[in-house]
Amino acid sequence: MLVFIVPLLAGILLGYFLRARKRIGLSGVTFWAIIILMCSLGFSIGSNNELLNSMPRVGLNAIIIALIAMLFSVFFVKVARKMVKVE
C-alpha cells in the first residue's frame, strides 16, 4: 500500500510547490507507462491458469452478476452524491 501512496503524495506535493513554473510535457511518458502497465496486467491474466479455467465454466452467469453489481454501484454512487452534495 505504502508503495502506491508515497509516489502519489510526492507527486502532488512536488506539483503543488512547482505550480508556478513552466510545465514539461509528460503525455508521452504517461502513454508508454500505461501501455507497459496494461501489458503486465494482461501478462498476469494470461499466466493465471485458475482464472482461465474458471471462465468457460461460469461464463454467462458471471457476466450477468458483474453487470448487475456494476449497475447497482453506479446507482448508489449517484444517490450518495446527491445526499452529500459532492460535485
CB of 14 to another protein, least distance (A): 6
Contact 54, 48 (CB under 8 A): no
Sites for another protein among residues 55-84 (CB under 8 A): 55, 57-59, 61-81, 83-84
CB of 77 to another protein, least distance (A): 4
Sites for another protein among residues 23-52 (CB under 8 A): 23, 26, 29-31, 33-52
Nearest to 46 by CA among 35, 58, 55: 55
- In angstroms, the CA 19 to CA 39 distance is 32
